[in-house]
């Protein structure tokens, strides 16, 4: 019986160390050293291997090493094998830091000041009070809620939009598609923390940007597929949006020559908003394996119908 890991190799070595310490009886293998595939009961992956069901015929659990699962083709996974997304605290902590950084950078016009510094221009821009900058988060799951909780400290008026209704103290919550325009119309900085599904693909597009207050700003930390990239460029040109912070792109790494590389109103990072922490990830994975063996419910189990 083995545990197979297929993701970032350097972090995989750390997983191996924590496995050896915490679960010495469960052999841990790093891709591509898969050993006997019939022995693989547990698989943790970022990009899934091909023919999972045929190659690993005795699989019991598949883990995503990230919080998102859109990289999986669910039809390739045996229906009886639970797919578990990563629920370890390191992901939320680093996401909270990143979104706080992005919202504050946009709120305090950082992109303007970077450009001014390059031009050796010393010019002030009036400060907008946090109380007058409305921040709205799309997706009130684990990460969206954690982000909103931290943003409360700055005094921004906060709102959130979600598929099903939510109640969060000091946050105006909007539920369902019909409530989206009302949510957008009062959002100056829009943060996307949705999962990528058939319903959310391309949601950040021209018609959405047109409902935001003119000159609104965008933070996309969900997935590149949420954003229609050409629509963002056009929205920046038309002044519908004034700036964007993007951590994700439709194609990663971003191809050479892509307009995002050099756009003065876009701050781009290479999908680093948050990262799974090996130590706590191993804790989570081992806890889940224990629960599975005892026939208990599995936190993080993906609902394949919903797509997340
Ligand atoms: P969760 O599953 O906890 O939350 C997702 C939330 O989105 C839920 O509240 C859900 O609503 C809501 N939602 C789903 N579909 C829709 C829809 N069609 N319309 C409105 N709301 C919807 O996920 P997490 O918060 O843990 O993660 C969110 C995403 O963040 C991940 O899927 C991943 O894509 C991205 N991510 C990006 C990282 C990065 O480094 N850039 C790192 C980690 C995650 P409901 O309550 O009804 O289920
Ligand atoms: C994740 C990610 O989904 O890193 O965890 O994007």
CA of residue 195 to ligand 1 center, whole Å:
4
Quote the pLDDT of residue 227: 99
pLDDT (0 to 100) of residue 298: 98
Compute the distance from residue 20 Cα to the ligand 2 centre, in Å. Answer: 25
Q: Residue 289 Cα, ligand 1 centroid: separation in angstroms?
A: 24
- Each residue's pLDDT tens digit, 164-185: 999 999 999 999 999 999 999 9
Average pLDDT estimate for 125-140: 98
Predicted confidence band of residue 263 (pLDDT cuts 50, 70, 90): very high
Question: What's the average model confidence in pLDDT over 116-140?
Answer: 98
Q: Report CA(75)–ligand 2 centroid distance (Å).
A: 21
Q: Which ligand is nearest to the CA of 222?
A: 1
> Which one is catalytic: 107, 133, 134, 223?
223
- Ligand 2 site, CB within 6 A: 66-68, 91, 274
Structural class in CATH, domain 2-88+276-293: alpha beta
Domain 91-268 in CATH 2.40.110.10? The answer is no
What's the mean pLDDT in 195-222? 98
pLDDT score at 268 = 98
* Residue found by looking up tokens 């002044």 in the block: 239
Tell me how far apart the terminal alpha carbons of the chain are, to the nearest angstrom: 28
Q: Render pLDDT for 218-253 as a digit per residue (tens, 0 to 9).
A: 999 999 999 999 999 999 999 999 999 999 999 999
Q: So what's the pLDDT on residue 140?
A: 98
The pLDDT of residue 264 is 96
pLDDT attached to residue 145: 98
Contact between 156 and 108 under an 8 Å Cβ cutoff? The reply is no
Of all protein residues, whose CA lies closest to atom 9 belonging to ligand 1?
A: 141
User: Residue 266 — very low, low, confident or very high, per pLDDT cuts 50/70/90?
Assistant: very high
Rounded to whole angstroms, how far apart are CA atoms 163 and 296?
27
Domain with CATH 3.40.50.720 in the chain: 2-88+276-293, 91-268
**Ligand nearest to the CA of residue 87, numbered in listed order:** 1
Which of 94, 143, 248 gets mutated to test ligand 1 (max ligand atoms within 8 A of its CB)?
143
How much of the chain exceeds pLDDT 70, in percent? 100
Task: Clarify whether 258 is annotated catalytic.
Answer: no
Q: What is the pLDDT of residue 130?
A: 98
What is the arithmetic mean of pLDDT over 18-25? 97
Query: For the chain, what is the mean pLDDT?
Result: 97
Whether residue 271 lies in the annotated active site: yes
Taking only the tens place, the pLDDT of each residue in 44-100 is: 999 999 999 999 999 999 999 999 999 999 999 999 999 999 999 999 999 999 999
């Amino acid at each position: 019986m083995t545990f197979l890991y297929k993701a970032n190799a350097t972090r995989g070595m750390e997983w191996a160390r924590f496995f050896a310490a915490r679960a010495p009886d469960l052999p841990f293998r790093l891709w591509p050293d898969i050993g006997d595939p019939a022995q693989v009961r547990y698989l943790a992956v970022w990009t899934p291997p091909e023919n999972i069901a045929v190659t690993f015929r005795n699989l019991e659990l598949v883990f995503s090493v990230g919080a998102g699962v859109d990289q999986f083709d669910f039809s390739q996974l045996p229906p009886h094998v639970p797919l578990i997304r990563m629920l370890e605290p390191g992901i939320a902590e680093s996401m909270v830091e990143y979104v706080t950084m992005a919202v504050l950078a946009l709120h305090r016009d950082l992109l303007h000041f970077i450009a001014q510094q390059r031009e050796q221009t010393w010019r002030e821009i009036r400060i907008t009070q946090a109380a007058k900058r409305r921040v709205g988060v799309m997706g009130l799951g684990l990460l969206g809620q954690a982000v909103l909780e931290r943003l409360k400290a700055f005094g921004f008026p906060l709102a959130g939009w979600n598929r099903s209704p939510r109640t969060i103290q000091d946050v105006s919550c909007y539920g369902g598609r019909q409530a989206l325009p009302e949510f957008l119309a009062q959002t100056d900085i829009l943060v996307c923390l949705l999962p990528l599904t058939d319903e959310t693909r391309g949601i950040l597009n021209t018609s959405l940007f047109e409902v935001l207050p003119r000159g609104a700003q965008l933070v996309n930390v969900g997935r590149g597929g949420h954003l229609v990239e050409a629509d963002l460029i056009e929205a920046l040109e038309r002044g519908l949006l004034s700036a964007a912070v993007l951590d994700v792109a439709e194609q990663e790494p971003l191809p050479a020559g892509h307009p995002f590389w050099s756009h003065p109103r876009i701050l781009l990072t290479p999908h680093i908003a948050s990262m799974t922490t090996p130590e706590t990830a191993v804790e989570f994975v081992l806890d889940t394996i224990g629960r599975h063996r005892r026939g208990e419910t599995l936190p993080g189990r993906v609902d394949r119908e919903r797509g997340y």
